[in-house]
């Protein structure tokens, strides 16, 4: 199975998890190779300055206010500097989500059960989906703005890590099933675009989404839903 390690130059690298944790065999690097494992001190400061500027723009104007030009102006640097560091707007917004991704990954790889190891696979699936739902609602504007284009949606490192985790849990619960395809089915329920539609356009309460996730997992795994 595969997990991504989401790395920011201004954050310490995550240590390699001990063998008993749910680790993967491939590390998916987020960002350009020259960004890792560390940047020069001045480059790291510039990167942090750009991210701070982007975060201020989101706080003041929402994610829609974050453009490469606006970030460059807020950070008082040339636009080319922003493009060289992050590639494009999606890369910039993905970097803003990086720290949250790292924390969440640490929770489902090595945190306490039921989200982390130590609980049965179905219980972990229930906890995982509900945690993703809550996190997505909290960061919905930023996630929507950072949503990859159609040709990158299923290849982007964050999504690959979450899909791999769900596939692993399904494989443990349903060893005869096609866990890769079933994982795509479950992850579709957790897509930020769908969550935006259901919560903001349809006014659906979070309790209903969580109940729906529990029911979906129960039906896919053939287990009794628990509240």
Residue 18 lies in a domain: yes
Which of 2, 214, 227, 223 is CA-nearest to residue 105? Answer: 2
| Whether the model pTM is above 0.75 | no
Can you state the angle between helices 121-138 and 179-189, rounded to 10 degrees?
Answer: 40
Answer yes or no: is 226 within a domain. Answer: no
Q: What is the number of structural domains in the chain? A: 1
Residue 150 lies in a domain: yes
Identify whether 190 is part of a domain: yes
- Tell me if 227 is assigned to some domain: no
Residue 137 corresponds to which tokens in the numbers above? 């609602």
Contact 101, 117 (CB under 8 A): no
Burial classification of residue 41, based on how many CB atoms lie within 10 Å of its CB (0-12 exposed, 13-18 middle, 19 or more buried): exposed
Q: What is the pLDDT of residues 161-183, one digit of tens each?
A: 999 999 999 999 999 999 999 99
Which residue from 113, 135, 132 is spatially nearest to 124, judged by alpha carbons?
113
Q: Residues 49-99: pLDDT tens digits?
A: 888 888 888 878 877 778 999 999 999 989 999 999 999 988 888 888 887
Asked if residue 60 belongs to a domain, the reply is yes
- Domain housing 203: 3-221
CATH code, domain with 155: 1.10.357.10
Asked whether the beta carbons of 110 and 145 are under 8 A apart, the reply is: no
């Amino acid at each position: 199975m595969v997990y991504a390690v989401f790395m920011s130059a201004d954050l310490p690298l995550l240590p390699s998890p001990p063998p008993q944790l749910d680790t993967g065999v491939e590390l998916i690097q987020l960002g350009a190779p020259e960004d890792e494992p560390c940047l020069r001190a001045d480059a790291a400061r510039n990167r942090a300055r750009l991210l701070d500027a982007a975060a201020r723009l989101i706080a003041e104007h929402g994610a829609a206010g974050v453009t490469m030009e606006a970030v460059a102006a807020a950070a008082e640097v040339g636009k080319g500097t922003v493009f060289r560091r992050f590639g494009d707007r999606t890369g910039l917004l993905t970097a803003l989500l990086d720290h949250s991704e790292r924390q969440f990954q640490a929770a489902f790889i090595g945190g306490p059960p039921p989200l982390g190891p130590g609980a049965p696979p179905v219980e972990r699936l229930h906890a995982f989906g509900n945690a993703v739902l809550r996190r997505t609602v909290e960061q919905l504007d930023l996630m929507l703005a950072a949503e990859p284009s159609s040709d990158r949606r299923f290849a982007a490192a964050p999504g690959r890590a979450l899909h791999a985790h769900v596939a692993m849990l399904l494989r443990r619960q349903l060893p005869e099933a096609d866990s890769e395809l079933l994982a795509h089915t479950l992850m579709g329920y957790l897509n930020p675009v769908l969550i935006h539609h259901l919560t903001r356009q349809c006014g659906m309460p979070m309790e209903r989404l969580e109940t729906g996730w529990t029911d979906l997992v129960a039906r896919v795994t053939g287990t009794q839903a628990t509240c």
